[in-house]
Amino acid sequence: EVQLVESGGGLVKPGGSLRLSCAASGFTLSSYSMNWVRQAPGKGLEWVSSISSSSSFIYYPDSLKGRFTVSRDNAKNSLYLQMNSLRAEDTAVYYCARDPGTAAIDYWGQGTLVTVSS
């Protein structure tokens, strides 16, 4: 069974940093591109980042470039999101999500809540 389990969320002050982790199981992580998607409370979905299977291709929206960094360790079956210079508007549930090769997202984690507040 495919499972994606996020961790590392919590309360952080504006300007602070946080590193999210995603533990993958039930499939071979090294064969898949992966994504981070977030959802602010009561709002819609926002794509945050994608990383190809070997980390050769990494994408972010312009609004997050320079503050967020995605990485992966296929040997540890893990995906990461380093978030720096956090702002109130980064408050959201962050989902780890798998790309089955169609550039869609077929599996999602349960999400981890990040709250940026003083």
Partner 1 sequence: DIQMTQSPSSLSASVGDRVTITCRASQSISRYLNWYQQKPGKAPKLLIYTASSSQSGVPSRFSGSGSGTDFTLTISSLQPEDFATYYCQQSFSAPRTFGQGTKVEIK
Tell me the closest approach of the beta carbon of residue 92 to partner 1, in angstroms: 13
Q: Which is nearer to partner 1, 41 or 118 (CB)?
A: 41
Write out the residues near partner 1 by the rule CB under 8 A: 35, 44-47, 50, 59-62, 95, 102-106, 108-111
Tell me the closest approach of the beta carbon of residue 63 to partner 1, in angstroms: 9
Compute the 3-state secondary structure of the chain and give helix, strand, coil in percent, each to the nearest 5: 10, 50, 40
Tell me the closest approach of the beta carbon of residue 75 to partner 1, in angstroms: 26
